[in-house]
C-alpha cells in the first residue's frame, strides 16, 4: 500500500457520529477511508457540504471488515459521509 498522509498533501478527519459527517465544506479530492472499528459499519458519501441532497459519490457501502478502502473521487461542493452501524470509527483522507 502506498503511503498516504500529510506528507503526500492529504489531510485526515476522524469521524464516528451516526448520520451526517462533513469532511470538507468546499471542493476537493477524497483519497479513501479507513474503517478502524465498529459493527455493521455502513457509509454513503455525498458531494454536498452539509447534507444528503448532493450527488452520490458512493452509494450505501457496507464495510466487510476493518481496513483501508480507496475511493479516489473528486467532489465539487463538499464531502459529507453518512455513517451507520454500531460505534463506527472511520478516518477519511482528503485534499
pLDDT in tens, 23-59: 999 999 999 999 999 999 999 999 999 989 999 999 9
Fold assignment, 6-94 = Jelly Rolls (2.60.120)
Give the Cα separation of 73 and 56 in Å (integer).
Answer: 11
For 19, the grid coordinates are 448520520
In contact, 57 and 30? CB cutoff 8 Å: yes
Q: The whole model's pTM is what?
A: 0.89
Residue ranges per domain, the chain? 6-94
Taking the alpha carbons of 68, 72, 76, 82 in that order, is the dihedral positive or negative?
negative
How do residues 59-82 score in pLDDT, each as one tens digit? 999 999 999 999 999 999 999 999
Side-chain half-sphere exposure of 53, counting CA atoms within 13 A: 3
Report DSSP state, residue 10. -
Amino acid at each position: 500500500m502506498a503511503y498516504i498522509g500529510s506528507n503526500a498533501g492529504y489531510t485526515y478527519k476522524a469521524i464516528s457520529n451516526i448520520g451526517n459527517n462533513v469532511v470538507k465544506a468546499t471542493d476537493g479530492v477524497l483519497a479513501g477511508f479507513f474503517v478502524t472499528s465498529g459493527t455493521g459499519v455502513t457509509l454513503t458519501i455525498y458531494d454536498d457540504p452539509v447534507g444528503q441532497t448532493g450527488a452520490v459519490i458512493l452509494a450505501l457501502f457496507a464495510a466487510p471488515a476493518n481496513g483501508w478502502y480507496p475511493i479516489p473521487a473528486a467532489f465539487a461542493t463538499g464531502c459529507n459521509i453518512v455513517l451507520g452501524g454500531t460505534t463506527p470509527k472511520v478516518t477519511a483522507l482528503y485534499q
